[in-house]
Amino acid sequence: MLLDVRDLETHFYSEESVTRALGGISFQVKKGETLGVVGESGCGKSVTALTILRLLPKLSARTVGGEIHFHGRNLLELSDREMRKIRGDQIAMIFQEPMTSLNPVYTVGRQIAEAVQIHTKASRSVAMEKAEEMLRLVRIADPELRVNNYPHEMSGGMRQRAVIAMALACSPELLIADEPTTALDVTIQAQILRLIVDLKERTGTAVMFITHDLGVVAETCQRVIVMYAGRIVEQANVIDLFARPAHPYTQGLMRSVPDRRRGRQRRLPEIPGIVPSLREPIVGCSFAPRCPFAIDICREKTPALRDVGSSHAAACWRAEEVMGA
């Protein structure tokens, strides 16, 4: 087990309220696997990533409970200095908008080389060679010229490739990718997804792939966790998840995507209502107010994640019936 997260709870504080962004989540990432994390805005998928890397703003956010075991060490107990060593070296992260991770006033080559120098104590020239090699690895044409480019001289797709090159430069064991293709055009998205899958196979890096797009999950991930309102509501391997979703939210999400097999110009099945506020404590299942399956127990007791098949778990009192529906 590479990463083992247990009962993780993160809260955000403002003057008048507390937002329970993560309400106690547990999951694992195995060596070399791609784990998809799906859910809609505000479900806590990005907060999960930032909590693991301890990148949340110290003043307004606090991890109030749980453990994050990486190589047997609890990341939450490390000093800031030890954490800095892990970030970029053993766990790297890429974001939706590549410009958030690129410095506009340095060349791309120098930025990749800097990451290499910090973590390997390589000399400047060796690091620059490594930068060029990394750009070649992410299939940027003419890497020997591109190392001297500034970020603004590159297209959006190329910048995202450069960021991936930087993230992989120190051969991390875990890559956290937070919506890495959401800002890109579909043809470029297809290229970047293919690249991430290929590199994962070649380097053996495990990937935690955060996305809102079920199509992207289906094409890149082996295992998936579905999040809703700060909790994991379902966890399964990708084939089972799409074949027999066991949580009404997963099912609703899949059905609300337009699909030619169900006919054009038809009304799409909607998930009624809106996501609950995480500022108020939630009694019972957080999806119950929007759920077509909800019965009394759903509104009274919060369902825990439980097995509904081999390596398939759902947090729903009526999961078996949902799977049959």
Partner 1 sequence: MNGPLLKVENLTKHYPLGSGIFKKNIPVIRAVEDVSFSVEAGETLCIVGESGCGKSTVARLLMRLVEPTGGRVLIDGTDIAGLKKDALRAWRRRMQMVFQDPYSSLNPRLTAGQIITEPVENFERLSRQQRNALAADLLQKVGMSPEMMHRLPSELSGGQRQRLGIARALALKPSLIIADEAVSALDVSVQAQILNLLLDLQQQMGIAFVFISHDLGVVEHIGHRVAVMYLGRIVELAPCEALFAKPVHPYTEALMAAAPVPDPTRVRLEAPVEGEVPSPINPPSGCAFHPRCPLAVERCRIEVPPLVPLADGRVVACHVRAPATDVVAKPTTAANSSLSRVV
* Residues in region 199-218 near partner 1 by CB under 8 A: 212-218
Which helix (H) or strand (E) segment holds residue 206: the answer is: strand 206-211
User: Tokens 């994991």 label which residue?
Assistant: 232
* 110, two tokens: 């120098």
**Which one among 90, 117, 191, 302 touches partner 1, defined by CB under 8 A?**
191
Q: Does 267 bind partner 1 (CB under 8 A)?
A: yes
Site for partner 1 in 138-157 (CB under 8 A): 155, 157
Distance CA 299, CA 281 (A): 13
- State phi, psi for 262 to the nearest 5 degrees: -100, 5
- Which of 48, 63, 189, 251 is close enough to bind partner 1 by CB under 8 A? 189
**Is 194 a residue that touches partner 1 (CB under 8 A)?**
yes
Q: Which is nearer to partner 1, 101 or 237 (CB)?
A: 237
Task: Copy the structure tokens of residue 69.
Answer: 């075991």
108 binds partner 1 (CB under 8 A): no
d(CA 189, CA 287): 32
**Binding-site member from 13, 73, 201, 269 for partner 1 (CB under 8 A):** 269
Given a contact cutoff of 8 angstroms between Cβ atoms, the answer to whether 89 and 170 are in contact is: yes
193: contact with partner 1 by CB under 8 A? yes
DSSP state of 87: B
Position 83, amino acid: M
- The two structure tokens encoding residue 142: 């003419």
Single-letter amino acid, residue 16: E
Applying CB under 8 A, among 14, 100, 125, 187 the residue interacting with partner 1 is 187
Measured from the CB of residue 71, what is the shortest distance to partner 1 in angstroms?
30
Binding of partner 1 at residue 239 (CB under 8 A)?
A: yes
Q: Name residues contacting partner 1, limited to 38-77 (CB under 8 A).
A: 40-41
- What is the gyration radius of the CA atoms in the chain, in angstroms? 21
Residues engaged in binding partner 1 (CB under 8 A) = 40-41, 155, 157-158, 185-191, 193-194, 212-219, 238-239, 241-242, 252-254, 256-260, 264-265, 267-271, 274
